[in-house]
Amino acid sequence: MHFLGLLGDNFTLPFVLKSCADLSRVCMGRCVHGQGLRVGLEGDFYVGASLIDMYVKCGVIGDARKLFDKMIVRDMASWNALIAGYMKEGEIGVAEDLFERMEHRNIVSWTAMISGYTQNGFAEQALGLFDEMLQDGSEMKPNWVTIVSVLPACAQSAALERGRRIHDFANGIGLHLNSSVQTALAGMYAKCYSLVEARCCFDMIAQNGKNLIAWNTMITAYASHGCGVEAVSIFENMLRAGVQPDAVTFMGLLSGCSHSGLIDAGLNHFNDMGTIHSVEPRVEHYACVVDLLGRAGRLVEAKELISQMPMQAGPSVWGALLAACRSHRNLEIAELAARRLFVLEPDNSGNYVLLSNLYAEAGMWEEVKKLRALLKYQGMKKSPGCSWIEINGKSHLFMGADKSHPQAKEIYKFLEALPEKIKMAGYIPDTSFVLHDISEEEKEYNLTTHSEKLAIAFGLLNTRPGVVLRVTKNLRICGDCHAATKFISKIYEREIIVRDLNRFHCFKDGSCSCGDYW
DNA sequence: GTAGGGTTAG
């Protein structure tokens, strides 16, 4: 068009800029910017907002801001684009400031703030703003994008009741046939423990309306709940429906196979990725397969796979190998993996702890001492563990050794009596998870104060018999807590579901859905 | 015609 001497007008430029934004072609974007100035379009609202959006999506927020500050008249789209840009960069404060300063806000402004909060992990703020938006007298009308933006906040904080209310609300505004909303709902229910409700939402989507993201959501949902067979089967449905899988699909599929011990199926799908489906395996896929082999105890094969990787093995790959060495007590390969990890991620204390645990089990106290000294010297701390539980729609949070809860006294009394009770059923405290130079008794006491135990105790004390407990932890569940919870589920006849950083553990009648295979 | 969106391991 340019070649033919046609300049383009205020209608042409926004489309070109949108393409620049989608392709991150900032040089081309700047060209179009210059072109706009030459033909006197700098005052056009659409061109202005599109330029800001282009700079934001190309990752040069500074340029977006410069332009914004230079503009004499700005419409809401420019403000909204800039707010979204700052949220994308994690500059929450700046985004909040802009939002406050806006004279008029529309639903896009509110939605940009809400999604910005959820994408930065500020679930409380997202839910708070959603409520504020709906306060009496407000004329804001949430639409499907708003709903899709707020649901991940429920998922993050495992707020099932809250999610159900938003589900009702979405139905109330006629969104029950919106496939993006149903996909977001499925993801929310899956992360809030309710696989059945997740499946219901997925099934609400018409067969020909199920896109890649919908399928990925359901595959990942099954995988995280340890339902590998279902994950594989839904993957096959996806292929039958003619939807091309992508890298995310295989992350779900491979981790599902891994968590369920479907070794051969996992390896076959991994081999088919590039050849049949044209999805080239990435580092994270290799990490999944290392995990898959590692869990099965095939550590040598896992090591060999790493050496054959077509790209550099990252921390995730060596981390999976080290974790597998911990469960299968292979010191030799563990040392190899740990050496690489100490270089690749020197600040990750978890790696030092894992190796130290292995040394401790092997009785190699000199090595344990050296590692602990190193940890101390580098001033590293384990990131603080916390767990929370939702009861009657209210969330209760516990840090490790937390005594701040109003019912703390009762909870600690319960937990102090607990070991004797479950020891009779066969529980043996595993103090290798305690990383302090203290006596065995102190270590055992230390175990009883883990945040997940506090949350479970609180749940048992505050719900009627038979009620399912749902506990969420910000880290991986501790091995001793895992063992203890199995006994608790039997003795107190309770189903207890723990969502940790990696997956769901459903404790029932003395065993866990992960089959101790985590 | 512009701005806000759901899926990703250990």
Residue of least CA–C1' distance to B6: A184
Whole-number distance in Å between A344 CA and B9 C1'? 17
DSSP 8-state class, residue A385: P
Q: Which two tokens stand for residue A299?
A: 């550590």
DSSP lists the bridge partners of residue A396 as A389
- Taking the CA atoms of A91, A95, A98 and A100 in sequence, report the sign of the dihedral they define: negative
Cβ of A124 near strand B (under 7 Å)? The reply is no
Cβ of A151 near strand B (under 7 Å)? The reply is yes
Per the structure, the complete domain to which residue A456 belongs is given by 386-512
Nearest nucleotide from residue A324 CA, by C1' atom:
B10
Q: Is position A358 within any domain? A: no
Residue of least CA–C1' distance to B3: A77
Is 70 exceeded by the pLDDT of residue A29? yes
Q: HSE on the CB side for A327, CA within 13 Å?
A: 19
pLDDT tier at A378, thresholds 50, 70, 90: confident
Q: Is position A129 within any domain? A: no
Whole-number distance in Å between A355 CA and B8 C1'? 27
Q: Is position A433 within any domain? A: yes
CA A472/CA A476 separation, integer angstroms: 10
CB A341 within 8 A of CB A322: yes
Q: Is position A476 within any domain? A: yes
Q: Is position A374 within any domain? A: no
Whole-number distance in Å between A94 CA and B2 C1'? 22
Q: Which two tokens stand for residue A149?
A: 């933006």
CA A21/CA A53 separation, integer angstroms: 7
- H runs (alpha helix) in A345-450: 349-361, 365-377, 408-423, 440-448
Q: Is position A405 within any domain? A: yes
CB A488 within 8 A of CB A509: no
Q: Is position A70 within any domain? A: no
Q: Is position A303 within any domain? A: no
Question: At a CB cut-off of 8 Å and minimum separation 6, what does A350 contact?
Answer: A382
Cβ of A291 near strand B (under 7 Å)? The reply is yes
Cβ of A290 near strand B (under 7 Å)? The reply is no
- Taking the CA atoms of A337, A343, A345 and A348 in sequence, report the sign of the dihedral they define: positive
Nearest nucleotide from residue A518 CA, by C1' atom:
B10
Nearest nucleotide from residue A53 CA, by C1' atom:
B3
User: Going along A238-337, which residue ranges are E strands?
Assistant: none
Cβ of A356 near strand B (under 7 Å)? The reply is no
Percent residues over pLDDT 90 in chain A: 74
A318-329 tens-digit pLDDT: 999 999 998 898
DSSP 8-state class, residue A484: H
Is 80 exceeded by the pLDDT of residue A175? yes
Q: What is the mean pLDDT of residues A372-396?
A: 82
Nearest nucleotide from residue A184 CA, by C1' atom:
B6
Query: Which strands sit side by side in the sheet containing A511-512, from one edge to the other?
Result: A394-399, A386-391, A469-473, A496-499, A504-508, A511-512
Unique residue bearing structure tokens 């995280």: A224
Whole-number distance in Å between A239 CA and B8 C1'? 19
A247-304 tens-digit pLDDT: 999 999 999 999 999 999 999 999 999 999 999 999 999 999 999 999 999 999 999 9
CA A450/CA A500 separation, integer angstroms: 14
Nucleotides of B under 7 A from a protein CB: 1-10
A window 438-477: Cβ near strand B (< 7 A) = none
CB A217 within 8 A of CB A190: yes
Is 80 exceeded by the pLDDT of residue A376? no
Rounded to the nearest angstrom, the gap between the alpha carbon of residue A302 and the centroid of all alpha carbons in its chain is 26
A window 323-342: Cβ near strand B (< 7 A) = 323
Mean pLDDT (chain A, rounded) = 91
Nearest nucleotide from residue A258 CA, by C1' atom:
B9
Is 90 exceeded by the pLDDT of residue A347? no
A window 214-243: Cβ near strand B (< 7 A) = 214, 216-217, 220, 224
Q: Which two tokens stand for residue A123?
A: 């679930």
If we measure between CA atoms, which residue out of A217, A167, A162, A173 comes closest to residue A195? Answer: A217
CA A5/CA A7 separation, integer angstroms: 6
Whole-number distance in Å between A502 CA and B10 C1'? 8
DSSP 8-state class, residue A209: G
A88-124 tens-digit pLDDT: 999 999 999 999 999 899 999 999 999 999 999 999 9
A391-442 tens-digit pLDDT: 988 899 999 888 999 999 999 999 999 989 999 888 988 876 665 566 777 7
Number of domains in chain A: 1
Residue of least CA–C1' distance to B8: A248
pLDDT of residue A179: 94
b/e A389-404 (16+ beta carbons within 10 angstroms → b):
bbeeeeebbbbbebee
CA A349/CA A357 separation, integer angstroms: 12
CA A163/CA A390 separation, integer angstroms: 12
pLDDT of residue A43: 87
